[in-house]
Structure 1
């Protein structure tokens, strides 16, 4: 599995538990954990961290994250991607979607993109 996920600090940690329980090989870290950005880190700094360590950011930040991504790209930087959780899906459905994407995606597929879940439904896979 080429994808690694960093959960931002506003994502419920039950996502990490669910992802790790279903797919133990998947690397899922969360802001505030050792070796991750500390809680309270500003979004632009989190994007820098994700770029450096090749993690896709999993977030529910729909308002400011697109602006931060544009600024990041305009600075000549890149990010492996940002996955936006869907508030209309259950935690379990979002977890299933994140696992699906980790299993079928190739490295670099989501570079500099914001992907709104559920992405598999967009692809016609249910």
Structure 2
């Protein structure tokens, strides 16, 4: 299955916009469209998993531990933690590369940090 992304509420919207401008066919849902504002990490992970989307987030403090807790009892479609220090252009390139070079099945219960 093709990689699909879900932006977390704290992800810089310019990343989503940039990915979609470069490759309009990428399925990248905004946090607003998914109704993620104000939800706890476990709820966000559950929504992303239900929709079979890789969650993309800047939250490197609480999301990794929430992910570890989530996969004990549920299956995740994966999480990508993006450093705020990375240039937006680099993040866009890496997300496009992940989408082109991997499948959703490869991301099940996997967490990764950008840059890869």
Q: 1: CA distance between counterparts of 2:2 and 2:78? A: 13
Equivalent positions of 1:1-126 (< 5 A) are 2-33=2-33, 36-75=34-73, 77-119=74-116
What SS is found at the alignment partner of 2:95? helix
Larger radius of gyration: 1
Q: Give the CA deviation at 1:71.
A: 1.2
Kept after mapping to 1: 8 A contact 2:4/2:104 = no
Name the Cα RMSD after superposition.
Answer: 1.3
Normalised by the length of structure 2, the TM-score is 0.93
1:124 equivalent in structure 2: none
Higher relative contact order (CA 8 A, sep 6+): 2
What SS is found at the alignment partner of 2:59? coil
Normalised by the length of structure 1, the TM-score is 0.86
Q: Give the CA deviation at 1:88.
A: 3.1
Gaps of 5+ in 2: none
Q: Give the CA deviation at 1:107.
A: 2.4
Gaps of 5+ in 1: 120-126
Q: 2: CA distance between counterparts of 1:95 and 1:4? A: 14
What SS is found at the alignment partner of 2:80? strand
The runs of at least 4 consecutive aligned structure 1 residues that moved more than 2 Å come to none
What SS is found at the alignment partner of 2:112? strand
Looking at secondary structure, tell me which structure has more helix per residue.
Answer: 2
Q: Give the CA deviation at 1:69.
A: 1.0
